[in-house]
Chains A and B, each alone.
Chain A
């Protein structure tokens, strides 16, 4: 079956702009989590969506937002981009929200560069 698809793979944006990243989870998976990966901070949890509802949120400013559609596809949006937002953004798909025993299936990520 198809894996987790993230688009686009690469993005270059200017400070102050906004960006939208997309993630399509594995078919049948209803939970989508987003992580920011940087060399200095490692993997940091952004938020999780399950059945179109945000279930958990990490410690990021309100410029970071997301949503999930009825087909489980998810988008995350970053407004008023800052240089420090440059990172690899990873989407992780899982079967459910409340039971983590299955682990995650990750997409290849979107590499965002803010100039």
Chain B
């Protein structure tokens, strides 16, 4: 069975500090990987995605993520966070062969402090 594990439920960090949000997945088939962000009282917004090729992918708002096949991880990073990055972040996985539907992790709440 496929699964997504976000290793931290909450990550507090000071403004302008770097941050890493961790995501591990489990799947027996090739997958696409996604990170979404959800601001309060809003839906989810796609930050970035990995389909194939270069393992380092860049997204919106200065975020990037690295796909590590051997460790089945897809960690999200930002070198310097802003107050406005305070939100919940979701890692998601889908079957590249069109099989199982997109599965979301439980979410990581990023709290940026001044």
Q: Which residue of A lies closest to B102 (CB)?
A: A100
Is A108 in the interface zone, CB < 8 Å from B? yes
Give chain B nearest CB distance to A6 CB in angstroms: 8
Specify the chain B residue showing the minimal Cβ separation from A47. Answer: B101
Set A33, A45, A106: member contacting B45, Cβ < 8 A = A106
Q: Which residues of chain A are near B36, meaning CB under 8 Å? A: 104, 106
Given contacts A33-B101, A100-B102, contact A106 B32 (CB under 8 A): no
Q: Which of A48, A105, A109 contacts B101 (CB 8 A)?
A: A48
Query: B70 interface residue, CB < 8 Å from A?
Result: no
The answer to the question of A71 belonging to the interface, with a C-beta cut-off of 8 Å to chain B, is no
Give CA–CA (A100, B49) in the complex, Å: 11
B45 — which chain A residues lie within 8 A by C-beta?
A: 106
Given the known interface contacts A43-B90, A45-B101, A98-B98, the answer about A108 and B32 at a Cβ–Cβ threshold of 8 Å is: no
What class of interface size applies to chain A in its complex with B? 20 to 34
A103 at the interface (CB under 8 A from B): yes
Bound complex: CA of A100 vs CA of B99, how far in Å? Answer: 9
15 contacts between A and B (CB under 8 A): A33-B101, A42-B106, A43-B107, A45-B102, A45-B103, A100-B32, A100-B95, A100-B101, A100-B102, A101-B32, A101-B51, A104-B36, A104-B44, A106-B44, A108-B41
CB distance from B100 to the nearest CB of A (A): 9
Chain A residues 89 to 115 lying within 8 A of chain B, measured CB to CB, are 90-92, 98-101, 103-109
Beyond the given pairs A43-B90, A103-B46, A108-B41, 5 more chain A to chain B contacts, judged by CB atoms under 8 angstroms and listed by A's residue number, are A42-B107, A90-B43, A92-B44, A103-B49, A105-B46
